[in-house]
Amino acid sequence: MKKYLSEILENEEFTTDIFLVSAIEKIAKTGKKYITGEVLDKTLKLKFNLWNIENRTLEKNCYYSFTGKLEKYNNSFQINLFKFSKKNEKNIDLLDFKKSTDLNIENLYNDLLNILSAIKDPFYKFLADEIFVKNEDFIKNFKNSPAAEKVHGAYIGGLLEHSVNIAKMAEILVNFYNEFYFFGKLSKDLTVIGSLLHDIGKMWEYDYHGALIKTTKKGELLGHIYMSSNLINDLANKYKAKFPDCDIDEKLIKLIHLVLSHHGKLEFGAPVVPKIPEAIIVYHLDNIDAKMINFLSNTKNAVEEFTDRNFVHENARLYNIFLDEKRRINYES
């Protein structure tokens, strides 16, 4: 059985398969050459050092069998690498290296269908069915797509998980503010369909078929905000004639505005800031869910009491609430 990096204890010697993210030759203070870099599996990313290189080289973006020891240096865990051998990708189980949501993907999709069943507006209901129900290839891709390359939900099922999370929370907030403040003026249907579609362009922004999630050419040149809004606009205009009695233009403008503004600020990549209450709700829920999932991803398998500084959380070192006490580093010692 494979031993994952998160299962290795301090000072334990081990042998396991890893994916090599980076490898750089450096010179130590003694003048001796060594190789340092990073490795990962689906549970963790760790730094390694190979002190006895003996004209050996390591090729990044390849799979290896590593034998080494997990050691602590300057309050950080790293691998002291003893020996290694390159692995043929055909003999590798990619599922050992591809992170996935901890939640059941089919259950998440069923949650999405239950949310869609409550949409009453015929135009929004039609869009939802066309996108999330009728196209099997689209659905399969959506279920597997990550929500990001690194920041949050950077794993299989991340986009589905993130979208459903926001839609569930949006329902609660709309109900609350409608009951006590807006007296039914907020559109739950708009907020929910916007929650589910705001990041839909990420399906084409990222390639998740290898060990690492990578941004595609479309992702780099167009971005998911454009691709999300373009999908909605094209589909709406294609079937506009089906809804002669609905104010499609008004509904479409609000939905696209919600998608375009969900990053909240121009400096964060939003073409426009939120200007309707439904968009304000989705913007803040998007930010909350991203930060909570980022916190979870950076702490649940970490081997240290505090993480490295995290730009998502104002450059804070996050406290690891999941760490087993026997593995906790005493920073005061």
DSSP string, 144-181: H--S-SSSS--SBTHHHHHHHHHHHHHHHHHHHHIIII
* Whether CATH 3.40.720 fits 98-296: no
Which long-range contacts link 137-145 to residues 24+ away (Cβ below 8 Å)? Answer: 138/203, 139/109, 141/203, 142/200, 142/203, 143/105, 143/108, 143/109, 144/105, 144/208, 145/202, 145/203, 145/206, 145/208
Q: Write the DSSP symbol of residue 100.
A: B
- Identity of residue 83: K
Contacts of 76 (CB under 8 A, 6+ apart): 47, 304
Judging by beta carbons within 10 Å of its beta carbon (0-12, 13-18, 19+), is residue 131 exposed, middle or buried? buried
Q: Write the DSSP symbol of residue 182.
A: I
Contacts of 135 (CB under 8 A, 6+ apart): none
Rounded CA-CA distance 13/45 in Å is: 17
Q: What pLDDT does residue 330 have?
A: 41
Angle formed at CA 303 by CA 93 and CA 297, multiple of 5 degrees? 65
Contact (Cβ atoms closer than 8 angstroms) between residue 66 and residue 23? no
Q: What pLDDT does residue 289 have?
A: 97
In terms of Cα–Cα distance, which of 172, 151, 148, 163 is closest to 105?
163
Rounded CA-CA distance 240/4 in Å is: 52
Q: What pLDDT does residue 333 have?
A: 35
pLDDT 10s digit of each residue in the chain, 333 long?
788 998 898 899 999 999 999 999 999 888 889 999 999 998 888 999 999 887 778 999 999 999 999 998 887 889 999 989 999 888 888 888 888 999 999 999 999 999 999 999 999 999 999 999 998 999 999 999 999 988 889 999 999 999 999 999 999 999 999 999 999 999 999 999 999 999 999 999 999 988 889 999 999 999 999 999 999 999 998 888 888 777 888 999 999 999 999 999 999 989 999 999 999 999 999 999 999 999 998 888 777 888 889 989 989 999 999 876 545 444 333
DSSP string, 35-57: EEEEEE-SS-EEEEEES--TT--
In terms of Cα–Cα distance, which of 226, 221, 164, 238 is closest to 201?
226
- 3-state SS, residue 30: coil
Round the CA-based radius of gyration of the chain to a whole number and report it: 23
Q: What pLDDT does residue 324 have?
A: 67
Rounded CA-CA distance 197/193 in Å is: 6
Domain positions in the chain are 5-94, 98-296, 300-327
Query: Top-level CATH class of 5-94?
Result: mainly beta
Contact (Cβ atoms closer than 8 angstroms) between residue 170 and residue 195? yes
